[in-house]
A and B are shown apart, each in its own frame.
Chain A
Amino acid sequence: MTISDIREQKISEDDMKALEKLEKGPWPSHVTELKKTKYPIEYYAWGVMHKYSPWYSGSFRVRYVFSGILARRSRDGKVSEVHFRTYSPAGRFLSTAYLKKIAYVAEQYGIGLLEFAGNTGAIVINIQPDKADQAIDIIRNVMGSDVGGSGDTFREFYACPGPALCEFALYDTLAAMDFFRSHPEIYKFLNTQLFPYKLKMKFSGCPFDCAGANARSDFTFIGTWVGAPEVDQEKLREMIKSGKVDPKELAKRCPSGAISWDDDKQQLKIDGDRCLKAMNCIKMAFPAIKPGKNRKIAMLVGSHAQAHYGPRLSWGVALLDDYKEALPFILKVIDIYSNNAPRRHRLADLILRRGFRLISDAAKETLPDKPKATPSSHLRFTTGVVLSDDERVTYAEWAKSLVKDYYGGEQ
């Protein structure tokens, strides 16, 4: 069958029947949810079963609103699908009063469907095209949020729950996210498509990095500390006595071997110079071992999942005492990025093309007294591959043999 044959095939009953299989199984099903709404599910069914896209990108516009509205149209041109990305409060704490307003918008102006926890940080609401204009007004005036975060602009920022719900937060991630999002110099870029490509900021409170900031934000903030973790020897001895903690295990699990246990004095020693802030010990013996008192915020740049040269992790820039200190640096980097990057290149792509010097010079100028990092880089990654027919057969057979192992003979 050729591609054009597949494209010509009509939506059939069989597709819908096959989709019913996705409603079975113990985990809650998205198909069941879709069926409760006005979503054109038969197009989804056709796409899944033919492994072929049912959507073309569409264009849809609400006048004077420049970001956050996305639209698709089906291949046969009969159905359109419009959805809004809406900003959520920092940390994504959502009061039921706020959720009720979201439900109201999704019901009155949408098709009764939403993506509750979008990956950029946004809440995505599917909207009826003919009510989109009013939906914008309602989202702004009743819901108390705004649409935005798509296209070549600042995407929705993301912060881990931080001090609101976590013992490990080393700085106020929520306040940091609100500070940057509402600062006039950053806010002016929000919803205005002026960059070569998207920019993201993510805020993690500690080296556990629950916001995933290390791997998916152009401006990365991670809470850290200088020196050794704080050890409450008395409490630790108690924990060891009660069998909760094994001191030998603590020493063994430290990736740099900075921990030693003195059996005579019953004391744990941590070498602050060698501590990698891996937090293995803290995870095992909290609250007897806690992050150190000399708290800092690590500022890193340039990670992403999607870009010209493939996924990357962040380059370290400087250690800050307060997140507000980063603002001049960020503005400078935005300036460099806007002026120098080719279209559809992320910040890291620009760094790869022009060298890290771009960033380190900006840091020298705007963060003069801060300790700098020794940035490290890794090889280029590609996520897709072009396989030859032989290779395809090899991997298909291997997968088939695994299926046989796990599911038995029944096919």
Chain B
Amino acid sequence: MAETFVPDPSERINKRLPMPYAAQFPDIIKRNYGKWVDRKFHGNGIIEHISESGESIFTVKVGLPPNSRISVDTLKKIIDVADSYGLKVVRATRGMNVEFITDSLDKAKKIVNVMEGYGFPAGGWENSLWHITSCTAYLTCSTFAVDAPSITKALYDYFMPYFTGEEKLPSKLDIFVSGCTNICAGTLAGDIVVVGHWGQAPKPDPEKIKFCLPTSAEALKKVTPDVAAVCPVNAIKLYAKEDGSVGIEVDDKRCIACGRCKNVCDYFDWDPDKIGVGVFVGGKTSNTGSGPRLAYRIVPWVPLNPPEYREVVAVVRKIVDVWRKNAEPGERIGDTIDRIGLEEFMRQVGVPKSRHNACIEVSWNFGVRQFIKYV
């Protein structure tokens, strides 16, 4: 593969269409595309899909490290396993895990064994923990508040039996961990969503904030710079100083710690001791039960103690325990909350009430339900 290209740099303006999906398929998927009629579960982590032609295919879900950060070394192991026992194709899941695809149950079990030998557990379908999705946070991002991958690791270490199926859950459980209020772990519509936030109003860095401000007060008259324009509550005030430069002030009372200013300007600081995570519970995108919804903010703030994050793990454990105690079979957290009531759920979790978690129950009617006339 040692090809060298010496193109004219200006040729780089020519974009390239990504590879068509069909080029990646093994023959069995090409033959049975859209013809699957039945499915069977073979323990946790293996699904059999049966085609109308009678052929069947097995998918094996294997957990990856938090944020699916893998080294080339690990990638080569995955390639090797897919080549030896699979159909030379894998699938990256939405939950940051990997699915192997193969054509017999024996090979599927072999994949489970080999991957578990490498330290990557198989599991996560039906009534279990499907995934804990994490954003990249301290690994490659500059706007985050807390480190999502290490929190994810701490949570996975405890919840692994729920992934592999040793411990049973009433229904599917999705957990998302985001490092900041941008929620890059994907969505606020998850069963349990852990969102890092600053818990305080930002403080402009006295020396460096000037890089985000116009150089002269004259310019302020013409345009509002991004750093003030992005604030949804107008908490950031820019003003002309006497010497003709621009000053900045953040109103603590108005600030909602949404972090939008940090998105456009790096030179805001936060006190690390006030940083924490909020825990949101009971959302989902699926239309089952009471339909798609965003999660409720049940716990507004949990302190962080790296690298074990015991407080965060304990809070999530408590929420899962309360759910398991109350749930009827097949009920996701949101549906359980609907049935027993949000008040009661929060009482059992035991979280102190404040102005930040005074959640309002709303009758939700989202997703494809908006197309059903009688509702």
Contacts and interface: CB of A to CB of B under 8 A. Distances in A.
Contacts of A123: 92
Contacts of A158: 94
Contacts of A257: none
Interface string A153-165: 0000010110111
Given A287-B37, A392-B199, A374 B21 contact: no
A375 B330 CA distance: 29
Interface residues of B, number: 171
A210 B19 contact: no
Nearest to B299: A395
Given A53-B142, A308-B230, A385-B300, A94 B90 contact: yes
Contact of B287 (A51, A144, A190, A277): A277
A379 B75 contact: no
A101 B23 CA distance: 14
A311 B153 contact: no
B272 A398 contact: no
A306 B275 CA distance: 19
Interface stretch (B77-85, B103-111, B236-244): B77-85
A207 B286 contact: yes
B232 interface: yes
A214 B230 contact: no
Interface stretch (A27-35, A259-267, A327-335, A357-365): A27-35
A34 B149 CA distance: 12
B310 interface: yes
A284 B289 CA distance: 13
Nearest to A375: B370
A63 B310 contact: no
Nearest to B101: A165
A296 B49 CA distance: 24
Given A113-B71, A115-B67, A313-B294, A55 B142 contact: yes
B15 A112 contact: no
Interface in B133-164: 133, 135-136, 138-144, 146-147, 149-150, 153-154, 156-157, 160
Contact of A95 (B23, B149, B256): B23
A10 interface: no
Nearest to A100: B79
A376 B369 CA distance: 10
Contact of A376 (B39, B274, B370): B370
A65 interface: yes
Contact of B72 (A93, A114, A306): A114
Interface string B258-285: 1110011010011111111010100101
B182 interface: yes
Most chain B CB neighbours (cut-off 10 Å) among A96, A102, A274, A279: A96
B12 A62 contact: yes
B272 A91 contact: no
Nearest to A134: B5
Contacts of A33: 65, 69-71, 74
B9 A215 contact: no
Contacts of B317: 402, 406
Interface residues of A, number: 170
Nearest to A18: B307
A145 interface: yes
B184 A51 contact: no
B15 A142 contact: no
A44 B72 contact: no
A13 interface: no
A305 B138 contact: no
Contact of B356 (A19, A313, A387): A387
Contact of B89 (A62, A93, A146): A93
Nearest to A39: B139
Given A48-B150, A276-B291, A399-B314, A93 B91 contact: yes
B278 A405 contact: no
A214 B19 contact: no
A90 to B, nearest CB: 4
Interface string B287-325: 111111110010111111011101101110110000000
Nearest to A309: B232
Contacts of A134: 4-5
A47 B272 contact: no
Interface in A100-142: 100-104, 106-107, 112-119, 123-124, 126, 133-134, 136-138, 140-142
Interface stretch (B185-193, B213-221, B340-348): B185-193
Nearest to B179: A53
A49 B304 CA distance: 10
A375 B369 CA distance: 9
Given A96-B88, A386-B201, A278 B287 contact: yes
3 closest Cβ pairs, A-B complex: A316-B370, A384-B257, A163-B34
21 contacts: A3-B269, A25-B156, A30-B65, A37-B72, A48-B307, A49-B307, A63-B10, A116-B68, A137-B12, A163-B36, A167-B36, A178-B21, A274-B374, A278-B288, A279-B286, A305-B183, A376-B370, A378-B364, A383-B181, A392-B274, A403-B314
Given A32-B65, A81-B140, A275-B372, 8 more contacts: A26-B121, A48-B150, A92-B93, A93-B90, A133-B12, A212-B94, A253-B330, A276-B375
